[in-house]
Structure 1
Amino acid sequence: MYSSYKAQSLAMKNLKTLLISANVGSLFDDPENLFKKWLNQFYQVVRDKDPDFIALHCQEVGGKKLCPVNAEREKVDSALGSLYFVHSRVVDIRIWDFASSDFVNVKDTKVYDGSIESVGEKDKQKFPLELFPNRTWSRKGYMRTRWQVGRLSFDLVNVHLFHDDSNLESMSR
């Protein structure tokens, strides 16, 4: 048992991980000029680092000018996009299903587009409206995923922060 745990710990130590967080609102506001440049930079980093696991957390997906329509304000997403890439050489990786409270094997490509309310592999929360006294709605919040490689599990959180000169100052209000 010890040697199995030791081997799994070594596997996690050797897992080359690339964590990227990016506010991509400007890309959606001017995709013809910015998207290809941004994507080329992303590809270059991936080629240079050759990671086993990539977590790409994006904020302002859909652009900074994305507005709710009519009474659908509560349904507007927190403008977060979380993309995870696992190299085929990684064989022992699982993701937590918050709906079933269990880890599930990562084996096939999954793409969730549109509403992700029924997707069990994420915990998504909006920050309470009382944090935004001057607005009737907000897209601010977070999306969390939980991963397991061997016996080690870890959470990744994509946060859509408050827009202010100081996020810490905004939170203290």
Structure 2
Amino acid sequence: MQNAPSEALPTVAGIFLGLIAGATYALYSWSAHRLMNSGIGRAPAMGAIFGLGGIALMPILLLTGAPLIASTQAMMVGLYMALNPMFLGYLLIGYGLTQVAPSAATTLTLAEPAVATLLSVVIVGERLPAIGWGGLAGICASLLILSLAPATQERTSEPQVQAIFR
């Protein structure tokens, strides 16, 4: 029995939004790397990107943020998420972007959801369906292939596609 179109819509929308999120993350990594390579320090480059992102998110916080301050527990979880995974994680990725190409840094971030998934299975007791294990295997295989691939030298001229973002 096939799913009705209305049942498949959330899945298709989720995939589409995931692709958009991946594309914007790649653009973020590329932009941060480009700023740092143009002589702007790591801290100012990352600070500018996150400052502008924070300003852009303020209307969403104002419209939907009431539950965040409704209880001490919710506020503490929000504070923890802001300081640990967000601040520390992006501080480290900013450092990584000074050391490797943005494509390598973005590819390595694929390990994050894989590790989070494995931790949820091992620690929390989540159950992962066969397709989820297949996805994890695909991520691991991709990372293994990319890590074994010969390193390519940085090009002196940028591809024409990147000229759009100047």
Q: Which TM-score band applies after superposition, normalised by the shorter structure?
A: 0.3 to 0.5
Structure with the bigger percentage of strand? 1
Ranked by relative contact order (alpha carbons within 8 Å, sequence separation 6 or more), the top structure is: 2
Structure with the bigger percentage of helix? 2
The normalised TM-score by structure 2 is 0.34
The normalised TM-score by structure 1 is 0.33
